[in-house]
Structure 1
Amino acid sequence: MNIPEGKKVYFSSDNHLGAPTMEESRKREAIFVQWLDRIKEDAAAIFLLGDLFDFWFEYKHVVPKGFVRTLGKLAEIRDSGIPVYFFVGNHDLWMNDYFEEELNIPVYHKPKEFQFNNKNFLIGHGDGLGPGDKGYKRMKKVFTNPLSQWLYRWLHPDLGVPLAQYFSVKNKMISGDEDQEFLGEDNEWLIQYCRRKLESKHYDYFLFGHRHLPLEIDLNGKSMYVNTGDWISHYTFAEFDGKELKLKKLNP
């Protein structure tokens, strides 16, 4: 993708809409929708790097109630011709084809390579990557198993949705969330993952969410790991202007 002069690519993650309650998250949703409305003026593309929702599960004919302001704004942006890409996170990993069919937004379940103006990017949510976190990795295999999803759909949405929302907030092993403190470069799994990827291929930028920490880490003098933070405590996002990537912060 070539980024025209004056246009930008935007990256955002970890809104966790619906948490801790729908009433409280609606305030954050309003800020996010205002941001989307602003960046559509110069966006060449928008990347949502997962955990847009604190819980999302698609039944055959039902999706979770709420989030209409966000969904409506994304539909408007996509209908205007601006590409939008969605990477599932550990809280919305049960996303299937709703975004693709209703919003024309492609959905990715694994990190994916992109190239902007001859810069190589590896983009994803970030959960379960790198060494460690074995309990969550085992749990994720269960959650993403087609049989597990088929069985869960037999729960009525009035039972299945609030049950999953409860565990999404309460059980850290299920959610896969980590402590929101920087652990040092040698102990951050995503940094180790990026460095291992660089052993086989060059990337200019690694873009991930999941950690809820806005981070810019120089990996080897030629590659950068950027974590987009969140829209709960930090209200941070990344933007690429065709030449360089910058991490930015809103002041809501």
Structure 2
Amino acid sequence: MDIPEGKKVYFASDNHLGAPTMEASRPREKKFVAWLDEIKHDAAAIFLLGDLFDFWMEYKTVVPKGFTRTLGKLAEISDSGIPIYYFVGNHDLWMNGYFEEELNIPVFHHPQQFTFIDTSFFIGHGDGLGPGDKGYKRMKKVFTNPLAKWLYRWLHPDWGVRLAQYFSVKNKMISGDEDVKFLGEENEWLVQYAKRKLETEHYDYFVFGHRHLPLEIDLNEKSKYINLGDWISYYTYAVFDGKSLHLKKYMVN
């Protein structure tokens, strides 16, 4: 992918819109939409790395109510010709064509490699990667099982969405009951995952979300790990200007 002169590539993750309630997340949604409106003037591409919503599930003819401001802004940007790429997270595993068909936004269910100019990126949400977290990895296999998804869709959307939202909001990161702290490189699973990937192939940047903690870590002299943080506590994002990738904080009131 070429980046025109004066243009940039933007990355953001983990908005969890709708949590703990639609009303409580509305100010965060407005802030995110303001950021999208600001960056559209110099964006060559926008990457959203999952958990945009605290829960998202698509039935055959139904999607969750709400998020009109966000979806409308994404549609506007996509229609203007700026490519947007979406990576599903652990809170929006059950995407099934709506973003592609309605917004012209490709959706990825696994990490992907991208190259901008001569700079290589390995990009994904980050859930279930690296050592540890075996309980979640087993649970994800159930959630992504075609039979399990088929059975769940037999629930009426009013019940299915409400039930999923109830359990989703129990996430301690959203309720504020969990203090997310840096655990040291040896205990950061995504850092360990990136280091193992480098044993077989070089990437200049590994970009993930999921961790809810903005991090910039040098993996070696030529590779860096970036975690995007979130739009709950930090309002952080990353920007690539064609030469380097750095974390920034959106400061608008």
TM-score strictly above 0.5: yes
Q: Which residue of 2 aligns with 1:127?
A: 127
Q: Partner of 1:165 in structure 2?
A: 165
Counting matched residue pairs gives 247
- In the TM superposition, residue 179 of structure 1 has moved relative to its aligned partner by 6.0
Cα deviation per residue 1:110-131 (whole Å; 9 max; x = unaligned)?
0000000100000000000000
What does residue 104 of structure 2 align with?
104
Give structure 2 stretches of 5+ with no counterpart: 173-177
Pair 1:32-2:32 in alignment? yes
Long gaps (5+) in structure 1 = 173-177
Q: Is the CA contact 1:51–1:90 (under 8 Å) kept in the aligned structure 2?
A: yes
**Preserved contact between residue 54 and residue 91 of structure 1 (Cα < 8 Å):** yes
Contact 1:218 1:225 in 2 (8 A): yes
8 Å contact kept, 1:206–1:226? yes
Separation (CA, whole Å) in 2 of partners of 1:141 and 1:169: 21
SS of 1:9's partner is strand
After superposition, the C-alpha distances for 1:103-162 in whole angstroms (9 at most, x for unaligned) are 000000000000001000000000000000000000000000000000000100111101
In 1, Cα distance between the equivalents of 2:222 and 2:112?
20
What amino acid sits opposite 1:9 in the alignment? V
After TM superposition, the structure 1 = structure 2 runs for residues 73-222 of structure 1, keeping only pairs within 5 Å, are 73-170=73-170, 180-222=180-222
Asked if the contact 1:8–1:43 (Cα under 8 Å) also holds between the matched residues in 2, the reply is yes
Q: Distance in 1 between matches of 2:240 and 2:2?
A: 12
Alpha-carbon deviation of 1:171? 5.4
Partner of 1:250: 250
What's the % identity of the aligned pairs? Answer: 79
Counterpart CA distance in 2 for 1:149 and 1:179 is 32
In 2, Cα distance between equivalents of 1:228 and 1:161: 27
Q: Could you tell me how far 1:170 is from its partner in structure 2?
A: 1.6
Measure, in 2, the Cα distance between the counterparts of 1:157 and 1:107: 22
Q: Distance between the aligned counterparts of 2:179 and 2:202, measured in 1?
A: 29
Deviations 1:68-97 (A, max 9, x none): 100000000000000000000000011110
Structure 1 letter corresponding to 2:148 = S
Which letter does structure 1 place at the counterpart of 2:160?
Answer: G
TM-score, structure 1 normalization: 0.96
Q: Which runs of 4+ in 1 moved over 4 A?
A: none
RMSD: 1.0
Q: Is the 8 A contact 1:117 1:243 kept in 2?
A: no
Give distance in 2, aligned partners of 1:2 and 1:201.
Answer: 22
SS of residue in 2 equivalent to 1:94? coil
Question: Cα offset for 1:13?
Answer: 0.1
SS of 1:215's equivalent in the other structure is: strand
